[in-house]
A and B are shown apart, each in its own frame.
Chain A
Amino acid sequence: MKRQIPLIIVMSLGFLFFAHTFIPHKFSQDFYDWYVSWTKAMSPFAVILGIMSLFMVHTTKIQRKVPNWQYSFVTLGALVFTAFAGFAWGTNEGTPFMWLFKNVQMPMSATMFSLLAFYIASAAYKAFRARSAQATVLLIAAIIVMLGQVPLGQIISKWIPITSTWILNVPNLAAKRGIMTGVGLGMVATSLKIILGIERTYLGGGD
């Protein structure tokens, strides 16, 4: 029963929402509004689950003194201090909470993503070393699109921005359309598997 009742709930809600899409009736809309208000009331507790999970991972690291366990204090300290700053002084402009966002969180996340610029360059080099015709086509398309985005492309040749636009509007569109159709069919198939109880991995292990 620990698995069957949740499965029955998913199936029932799944079929009701399937029908809701095709029934533009007030009763159907009220049901949807009720569901949305309930899920919104449930969602803050998922954040607590995330916090508990992070705390458990890092306290376990500290207790077991795994390699680099000292840095877990940094994570937990930053978490507690940032949350405390938000609750104590508010989240408006000019508060310590916003200072932490602007001078700690935002610069670090932007730098973390910008690091990928270097690793993408090394990935391109590895693709080029593969020396297959398809990898070469990939790289040529990438180089033309990159040059088409910057003034340098226009300086080299007026054809680079034109070719870049053509690549984006024609072969890229065909590729995206084919892939999107496949993704859409995959989503439909997966959703049906969940509604019909074939896909049950979201229930987790155990009884």
Chain B
Amino acid sequence: MFELISNLVAAFLTLSIFSFLYKDNPFYKFAEHLLVGVSMGYAIPLAYENVFIPFVYNPIFLERRFIIIVPAIIGILYLFRFSKNLSWLARYPIVIFMGIVGMSVPMSMHSSVLVQMRSAMLPLDNINTFLIFIGTITILMYFYFSKEHKGTYGKISNVGVWFMMVGFGASFGYTVMARMSLLIGRIQFLLGDFLGLIK
């Protein structure tokens, strides 16, 4: 009985969201607003258990590390964001979080630029490595906007666009298949768990 009620609730909400395919309607609006509320409500106890207790409560009250009161107070300054006169106080927790961008300069340079360049520097001993080399260079040329894309430069950078179109097509295909697998999962739930038509 309990399982039937659970499946009934899940099936009603699934169909409510699918009803948007026909047009926007009260069932969809209800499910949409419910999803926002439940998702946010879900995050609150988890944040309390997994972040507040181990990193604020336990250090202060159990381990007696009273210095943690300072970041807790700085964190409270976030709440002044809604004050007209004191909203500037909310900048302090934001800028402390922003400080980490200092690390992202060498790390991005390493992981996104140097590692990519090292991987691209392969011996051009077959057609595939040659195509990868041409593709990478022409795409980088396409993204170099300090030079006008005209004449020979424009033609070479246009080759990069063709490579990107194939890359976007592959990403598009992957995304479609991921969504399709979710859709199949929901249809399996409706026809299997809920209606019992398939096993």
Contact = CB atoms under 8 A, between A and B. Distances in A.
B101 A74 contact: no
Contact of B51 (A16, A44, A77, A114): A44
B33 A74 contact: yes
B161 A134 contact: yes
B18 to A, nearest CB: 6
22 contacts: A3-B88, A6-B94, A12-B99, A14-B101, A17-B102, A38-B74, A45-B79, A53-B82, A82-B41, A82-B44, A87-B48, A104-B9, A104-B38, A105-B39, A108-B13, A112-B17, A141-B173, A166-B128, A181-B117, A184-B112, A188-B113, A191-B104
A162 interface: no
A97 B91 contact: no
B165 A138 contact: yes
Given A171-B131, A171-B167, A13 B96 contact: yes
A59 to B, nearest CB: 12
A202 B101 CA distance: 13
Contacts of A144: 173
B61 interface: no
B182 interface: yes
Size class of the A contact interface (CB-based, 8 Å): 35 or more
A159 interface: no
B88 A137 contact: no
A43 B33 contact: no
B55 interface: yes
Given A37-B55, A83-B41, A167 B21 contact: no
A155 interface: no
Contact of B186 (A114, A116, A167, A172): A114
Given A2-B91, A49-B78, A175-B164, 8 more contacts: A3-B91, A17-B99, A42-B74, A68-B29, A78-B38, A141-B167, A167-B170, A187-B108
Interface string B9-34: 11001100110110000000111111
B43 A142 contact: no
A134 to B, nearest CB: 5
Contact of A105 (B42, B109, B171): B42
Interface string B68-95: 1011101110110110000110111111
Interface in A29-76: 35, 37-54, 56, 68, 71-72, 74-76
A103 B165 contact: no
Contacts of A6: 91-92, 94-95
B191 interface: no
Given A86-B44, A110-B185, A141-B169, A202 B143 contact: no
